[in-house]
């Protein structure tokens, strides 16, 4: 039995090649040389490990989708806050009723 067969049988795959998984609308998992990069709306988190457990893939994707949701929520909150800061001031009553 080859080493690769044994690894696959134990549900663990050595990361020896690149792969890319689209997790959410703006989230991508890409892997190269034992480093997994999560890119969610421009935010990047890197995880490094020697072995990857195939059985945990769905759990990992669910966790990354949760991270994506949190990042998007934070960005929306920042945009909302920024929007309120740059809103136009109330037009004073003396100018409101002017006729041209």
pLDDT of residue 5: 41
CA–CA gap between residue 15 and residue 33 (Å, rounded): 7
Q: Which pTM value belongs to this model? A: 0.33
Provide the token pair at 63. 């966790």
CA–CA gap between residue 62 and residue 53 (Å, rounded): 15
- As a whole number, mean pLDDT of residues 62-83 equals 77
Provide the token pair at 15. 């990361």
CA–CA gap between residue 46 and residue 35 (Å, rounded): 7
pLDDT classification of 73: cutoffs 50, 70, 90: confident
Residues 15-53 pLDDT 10s = 445 556 665 666 566 655 555 555 555 555 545 444 444
pLDDT of residue 10: 37
Place of tokens 């039995």: 1
């Amino acid at each position: 039995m080859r080493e690769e067969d044994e690894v696959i049988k134990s549900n663990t795959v050595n990361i020896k090649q690149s792969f890319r998984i689209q997790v959410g609308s703006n989230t991508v998992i890409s892997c190269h040389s034992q480093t997994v990069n999560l890119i969610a709306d421009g935010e990047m988190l890197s995880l490094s490990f020697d072995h990857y457990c195939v059985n945990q893939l769905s759990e990992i994707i669910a966790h990354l989708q949760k991270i994506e949701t949190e990042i998007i929520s934070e960005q929306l909150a920042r945009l909302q806050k920024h929007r309120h800061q740059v809103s136009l001031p109330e037009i004073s009553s003396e100018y409101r009723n002017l006729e041209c």
